[in-house]
Amino acid sequence: MTISRNDVHYIAHLARLGLTEEEVSHFQVQLEGILRYVDKLKELDISNVEPMAHALDLKNVFRKDEITPSLDPRALMKIAPASQGQFYKVPKVIE
């Protein structure tokens, strides 16, 4: 698997990560190395194996639909970088 600079730029955009050109070069080489290592998994015959998402035998965990106290919205707004009343403020989204 070869990874181009464009691949790294594209992935970084998906992850909403701004990267410097130097970081792009670095990650290009390292990502290629790591992917080469994990290619080992191609040796395995997994045709009849069910994927495993986690270790517990739990499915569809539901709770009662009851009203319970939640955290105080004012306390939560206080730790936001920018807020107004009960709203988070962000840079302009719609032109």
Residue 69 sits in the site that holds another protein (CB under 8 A): no
Contact between residue 28 and residue 3 where contact means Cβ atoms under 8 Å apart: yes
Binder to another protein among 21, 56, 69, 85 (CB under 8 A)? 56
What the block records as the tokens of 30 is 């390292």
**For residues 42 and 35, what is the distance between their CA atoms, to the nearest angstrom?**
11
Give the shortest CB-74-to-another protein separation in angstroms: 10
In order of 39, 46, 54, 56, 59, the CA distances from 51 in angstroms are 18, 9, 9, 13, 15
Residue 4 sits in the site that holds another protein (CB under 8 A): no
Owner of token pair 């290592």: 37
Contacting another protein within 16-35 (CB under 8 A): 16-20, 23, 26-27, 30-31, 33-35
- Give the footprint of another protein on this chain (CB under 8 A): 7-8, 11-12, 14-20, 23, 26-27, 30-31, 33-35, 37-38, 40-42, 44, 46, 49-56, 58, 61, 63, 71-72, 75-76, 79-82, 88, 90-93
